Amino acid sequence: MDFRRSVLWVIFTVSVIFLYNSWLRYNGGSGLFGEPPAVTATASAPAGRAGDVPVPVAQNATALPGAEAPGIVPSAPATAPSATLTSIRTDVLDMKVSNEGGNLVYARLLKYASHSDAKDDVVLFDSSASNTYLAQSGLVGGDFPNHKTPMVLLPGPTSMGSADTLTVRLQSPVVGGVQLTRSYTFKRGSYVIAVRNEISNRGQTPVAPQLYMQLVRDGHDPSTGTHFYHTFTGPAVYDSKDKFQKFEFKDIHDQVKTIKSSDGWLAMVQHYFVSAWLPQPDTGNREFYLRKLQPNLYAVGVMLQLPQLAPGAHTVQTDTLYVGPEIESQLQGLAPGFELVKDYGWVTIIAKPLFWVLEQVHKVLGNWGWSIIGLTILLKLLFFPLTAASYRSMARMKAVAPRLTALRERHKDDQAAMNAAMVEMYRKEKINPLGGCLPIVIQIPVFIALYWVLLSSVELRGAPWLGWIHDLSAKDPYYILPLIMTGTSFLQVKLNPTPPDPMQARLMWIMPLAFSVMFFLFPAGLVLYWLTNNIFSIAQQWFINKKMGVPEFSEPK
């Protein structure tokens, strides 16, 4: 008959288990469920030297003169002894392009402050002793220009200034009879980069090059979240057949993993931010690949077959590179399924509509903190009939609590008689002991989905609420919200019926204290949501208790 309390105990026990599991992972352990600890960064290769040239896709047709045999890695032209970096500046991006392969080796997001250093900005692409994260591309299928080939920066501006667009162009020497001219085009206020590759056959024989685009990075987890939640960092591939697939770094080995498809894109995902190669839709068949290049260095890329080029012919391939935040409104429309990099997991079907509602509330209120409060109120109104039934059930249980205690005392030596007497009392008082549980169970998926909406939304990163809360994605610097949250949790216990068993009653008072440990380290936006939900739940329970004439508060035993 204490089913509702049993459910609460299960939830509490599971929470403690996951809490302990997260603590183990944070401290380098394998975790209770076998997850490996986060990989730490090691010194990586210098800029532009990270990663091998990918293997060309085997073609059914006979190899053309000058083309490498299928499956053979072509010999790369001599690399530049010292790569030269050119800075590219827009209103939202500060990037560096290397003359070695024309690779993008540095990307700073000017609108997003670093959580580790508020005076600095978030850096995605990097090539240093401690971090490697690069965007590379080139040609295979012969001794052609690839991501190790020295390229020349062509004349033109490298800073956007007051213009709305900026195009930076680089050109390779003729290698294997082929010359590659690449341009990066940036637009004001956008993290979308149009990448145009013009391939010209300057030789005397036909060629059939393949274009590859890849992202190379180390396995370091850049997340600066709390010890009590973990977000995914690693490569992802999307196509219309298998949809969105994530790959843990630990599952990528020296042997190349390939995925053949007629469409799709690839990405490197981390908390709040993503980089992705989005091939143009009409490119045709493509082959995605994942490979471990060095200890703690990984590549995810795509190989595209280009048209056969006769001597003097050329072809142009224009694709998209995205480097920036996971802003849902900007991700949608760039490529099918691209918004899935903002990963809500198994609650996506509920989380996406919730975020849409949160956005609509924000358009009205103009502040993400007040929008969280507004969304929580809307959810409370939506579930009002369910929660009202639950609170009425708890109020009835509270009204008969003294009689239940007397029954337990009277039949403490006869469990069967005690159960029979409790069933009879519930029947006479028209109490359903499960009535307080079912509404809670129905709401759990919605609240879990909202949890992930608030945890995953970069829109909340750096967003202030009021007073001392300057960033809803960071923990409360003075722990004011968690303290109030803990107080409201104790108040909720006082409003609920006291369990007849003294041990259960004492443990019910301990649970809010145990849960508060997590809230002291959760982002302020999450705590604000739970606090708002608690306050309105308390008001609803107090009103129902008063209306039904039962004591408002219970005393601890």
With cut-offs at 50, 70 and 90, classify the pLDDT of residue 11: low
d(Cα 82, Cα 76) in Å, to the nearest integer? 16
Q: What are the tens digits of pLDDT across the range 207-221?
A: 999 999 999 999 988
Note whether 125 and 52 are within 8 A (CB): no
Residue 535: strand, helix, or coil: helix
With cut-offs at 50, 70 and 90, classify the pLDDT of residue 50: very low
Percent of the chain whose pLDDT exceeds 70: 78
Q: What are the tens digits of pLDDT across the range 61-89?
A: 333 333 333 333 333 344 445 789 999 99
Per-residue pLDDT, averaged over 146-170, amounts to 97
- What's the distance, Cα to Cα, between the start and end of the chain in Å? 20
Note whether 207 and 497 are within 8 A (CB): no
Q: Which residue has the tokens 């803990």?
A: 486
Give me the pLDDT at residue 384, please.
Answer: 81
Give me the pLDDT at residue 194, please.
Answer: 98
Q: What are the tens digits of pLDDT across the range 115-125?
A: 777 778 999 99
d(Cα 62, Cα 28) in Å, to the nearest integer? 52
Give me the pLDDT at residue 428, please.
Answer: 78
Give me the pLDDT at residue 110, please.
Answer: 96
Max mean pLDDT among 307-321, 370-384, 540-554 falls in 307-321
With cut-offs at 50, 70 and 90, classify the pLDDT of residue 397: confident
Q: What are the tens digits of pLDDT across the range 412-467?
A: 778 888 788 878 887 777 776 665 566 667 777 888 888 889 889 999 999 999 99
Q: What are the tens digits of pLDDT across the range 104-118?
A: 999 999 999 987 777
With cut-offs at 50, 70 and 90, classify the pLDDT of residue 26: very low
Residue ranges of domains in the chain: 85-343, 367-446+463-547
**Which tokens belong to 228?**
């009590």
Q: Note the pTM of the prediction, 2 decimals.
A: 0.80
Per-residue pLDDT, averaged over 361-378, amounts to 96
Give me the pLDDT at residue 80, please.
Answer: 46
Residue 179: strand, helix, or coil: strand
- CATH fold of 85-343 reads Beta-galactosidase; Chain A, domain 5 (2.70.98)
The residue ranking higher by pLDDT, 345 or 19, is 345
Residue 198: strand, helix, or coil: strand
From 269-273, 391-395, 528-532, the region with the lowest mean pLDDT? 391-395
Query: How far from chain centre, in Å, is Cα 154?
Result: 38
Give the CA distances from residue 4 to residues 94, 433, 439, 496, in Å, rounded to whole numbers and listed in that order.
55, 7, 11, 12
The residue ranking higher by pLDDT, 403 or 246, is 246
Max mean pLDDT among 68-72, 184-188, 504-508 falls in 184-188
Give me the pLDDT at residue 344, please.
Answer: 87
Above 70 in pLDDT, residue 352? Answer: yes
Give me the pLDDT at residue 54, please.
Answer: 86
Any idea of the CA torsion for 152, 298, 129, 39, to the nearest 10 degrees? 160
From 12-21, 280-289, 319-328, 335-344, the region with the lowest mean pLDDT? 12-21
Give the CA distances from residue 340 to residues 216, 266, 467, in Å, rounded to whole numbers and listed in that order.
21, 12, 34
Above 70 in pLDDT, residue 226? Answer: no
Above 70 in pLDDT, residue 181? Answer: yes
165: number of Cβ within 10 Å: 12
Q: What are the tens digits of pLDDT across the range 484-496?
A: 998 988 887 777 6
d(Cα 323, Cα 341) in Å, to the nearest integer? 12
From 38-42, 206-210, 352-356, the region with the lowest mean pLDDT? 38-42
Give the CA distances from residue 84 to residues 87, 278, 403, in Å, rounded to whole numbers and listed in that order.
10, 27, 83
Per-residue pLDDT, averaged over 387-402, amounts to 70
Q: Which residue has the tokens 């009689």?
A: 403
Residue type, 484: I
Per-residue pLDDT, averaged over 377-382, amounts to 90
Q: What are the tens digits of pLDDT across the range 263-318?
A: 999 999 999 999 999 999 888 789 999 999 999 999 999 999 999 999 999 999 99
Give me the pLDDT at residue 38, please.
Answer: 36
Residue 305: strand, helix, or coil: strand
